Amino acid sequence: MRLSRYFLPVLKETPREAQIVSHRYMLQAGMIKQASAGIYSWLPLGFKVLRKIENIVHQEQERAGHIAIQMPTIQSADLWRESGRYDAYGEEMLRIKDRGGREMLFTPTAEELVTDIFRAHVTSYKDLPLTLYQIQWKFRDEVRPRFGVMRGREFYMKDGYNFDLTKEDALHAYNRHLVSYLRTYERMGLQAIPMRADSGPIGGDDTHEFLVLADTGESEVFYDSQITDLKFGDRQIDYSDHAACAAVLDEFTSRYARTDETHDAALFNQVPEERRRTARGIEVGQIFYFGTKYSDAMGALVDDGKGGKVPVHMGSHGIGVSRLLGAIIEASHDDKGIIWPEGVTPFHCGIVNLKQGDAEADAACQALYDSLTALGLEPLYDDRDERAGTKFGTMDMIGLPWRITVGPRGLKNGVVELTSRRTGESEELPPADAIARIAAIYQGIA
Ligand SMILES: Nc1ncnc2c1ncn2[C@@H]1O[C@H](COP(=O)(O)OP(=O)(O)OP(=O)(O)O)[C@@H](O)[C@H]1O
Ligand SMILES: [Mg+2]
């Protein structure tokens, strides 16, 4: 992409409505525009990152054997009456009437709809286990929408639902989700810590939230500092192996880590004092096992193979896809702007032409652009007729992890400059070497 032809409405002034850095930078970098309270349009740069995050979520869901579907955003109130949640859900639910006076709602979550799909089509234990998921817009009429996409009213969420014959199988599905979530967040450059949580209106006993540590997080968290040393890394896990998934759950949840909702001071005090940490965190996902709560209420039964019919055991599992943009920025920025992890960056590298219109500089930039593109990478070429300072300022704000700077002086010596956004370190090297370096960095990522 050439910047002169892109739509990147970078703001010069600091937006006053933004209270936290991720909201401010998303507005300043031209990623989102508020449409109304807690509802945003996604501008090209923001939309690109949203898609990157969504793709990682899809890939990791598929790797875990989960199957993508798409359910509607508008649902009938009748289904929610069957589960008893239509009245229970309260004011967060946006209720709508169609022209025939029928009561509808904008989906805040989709346990009822997916259970309705299941009961219509699945009748035998032979079709289990089954996990269906979607990535879809949700609406919750939050009392206080704030912090940009962090607490929106309309937000993009991955919601997945497992159906299993037995409690034991459903708990395996729970563990499998925990493993796949660890992989998912790490690919985005994030450490998200599973913490024992409270189940809220979804219901159920077993539940963990995934929290990204950040001072601006809305949850207070208490944990054993050893937990931040745990890395999932590139382990290969067989998702059908119950013991292997359970071992990962044990490893990542055996140390104390709880949110304020479930915090137990007496238990926490058993952690050696030097390892006790109190901090704030951003909830980027949650997993639940809730047994037969919905299958009982809605009659989702299967033949158990022994002549009887039994309600299926279920759980639901969410990832806050749009909130993740805010969480990643909170975890990765400096005073000049965003610093995208390679896994989610909107463009793989920036190319800054220090002397637009200089035949040699223009040709060198174009050659870099073509070579990177041919390798399947997406560079953003700042070909505007602007001062170097302005171009660097834009690149720093939008946070591409790598920048290649091209100017007539360097070209005389056969070199360009490769700069890391994260460390600020620069290195002069021939254009071909810069390309090879960028290609190596993104090997296995892009
Ligand atoms: N208003 C929102 N705006 C953006 N993302 C949200 C919002 N509400 C929930 N999410 C994301 O969706 C994920 C799954 O939804 P879940 O039902 O667990 O939310 P929740 O526990 O009600 O969230 P919170 O406690 O932050 O209100 C959450 O972990 C979070 O990342
Ligand atoms: Mg939650």
Give CA–CA dist 44/61, Å, rounded. 25
Average pLDDT over residues 72-95: 96
pLDDT of residue 198: 76
- In this predicted structure, the answer to whether residue 103 has a pLDDT above a threshold of 70 is yes
Substitution site in 107, 153, 283 for ligand 1 pocket (most atoms within 8 Å of beta carbon) = 283
Helices assigned H by DSSP within 42-97 = 44-63, 77-83, 85-88
Name the more confident of 354 and 197: 354
Least Cα distance to 53 among 192, 189, 172, 232 occurs for 189
Q: Which CATH number fits domain 349-442: 3.30.470.10, 3.40.50.800, 3.30.70.3270, 3.40.50.300?
A: 3.40.50.800
Cα of 262 to ligand 2 centre, how many Å?
A: 13
What is the model's pLDDT at position 201? 60
Average pLDDT over residues 157-183: 97
Q: From the CB of 208, is ligand 1 less than 6 Å away?
A: no
Burial class of residue 143, CB neighbours in 10 A (0-12, 13-18, 19+): exposed
Instruction: Evaluate: CB of 281 within 6 angstroms of ligand 1.
Output: no
Domain 3-338, CATH: 3.30.930.10
pLDDT, tens only, 279-293: 999 999 999 999 999
Structure confidence at residue 333 as a pLDDT band (50, 70, 90): very high
Are 151 and 144 spatial neighbours (Cβ–Cβ below 8 Å)? Answer: yes
Which pLDDT does position 13 carry in this prediction?
Answer: 87
Mean pLDDT (whole number) for 414-430? 98
pLDDT of residue 12: 87
Pair 73, 137: CB distance under 8 Å? yes
* 39 pLDDT above the threshold of 70: yes
Query: Distance of alpha carbon 332 from its chain centroid, rounded?
Result: 14
Whether residue 152 has its Cβ less than 6 Å from ligand 1:
yes
pTM higher than 0.95 for the full model?
A: yes
Q: How many CB atoms lie within 10 A of CB 50?
A: 21
Which residues on neighbouring strands pair with residue 75, listed in sequence order?
A: 105
Question: Average of pLDDT values for 175-202?
Answer: 91
What is residue 197's predicted lDDT score, i.e. its pLDDT?
A: 86
**Residue 291, ligand 1, Cβ within 6 A:** no
Residue predicted with more confidence, 446 or 267: 267
Nearest to 52, CA basis, from 403, 371, 348, 419: 348
Three-state secondary structure call for residue 357: coil
pLDDT of residue 1: 95
Q: How far is the CA of 283 from the centre of ligand 1 (A)?
A: 7
Nearest residue CA, atom 8 of ligand 1? 151
Mean pLDDT computed over 376-393: 97
Confidence of residue 302 (pLDDT cuts 50, 70, 90): very high
Mean pLDDT taken over the chain: 96
- Centre of ligand 2 from the C-alpha of residue 209, in Å: 6
Q: Which atom of ligand 1 is nearest to the CA of 210?
A: 29
Q: Is the CB of 194 under 6 A from ligand 1?
A: no
Nearest CA to ligand 1 atom 18: 286
Least confident span in 89-98, 196-205, 352-361: 196-205
Q: Is 431 in the pocket of ligand 1 (CB under 6 A)?
A: no
Give percent of the chain with pLDDT exceeding 70.
Answer: 98
Q: Where are the domains of the chain?
A: 3-338, 349-442
Name the residue with the closest Cα to ligand 1, atom 29. Answer: 285
* 255 CA → ligand 1 middle, Å: 24
Instruction: Locate all alpha helices (DSSP H) within 84-110, ordered by sequence.
Output: 85-88
Tens digit of pLDDT for each residue in 199-211?
666 555 689 999 9
Q: What is the pLDDT of residues 201-240, one digit of tens each?
A: 655 568 999 999 999 999 999 999 999 999 999 999 999 9
Give the atom of ligand 1 at the shortest distance from the alpha carbon of 318.
14
The CB of 111 under 6 Å from ligand 1? The reply is no
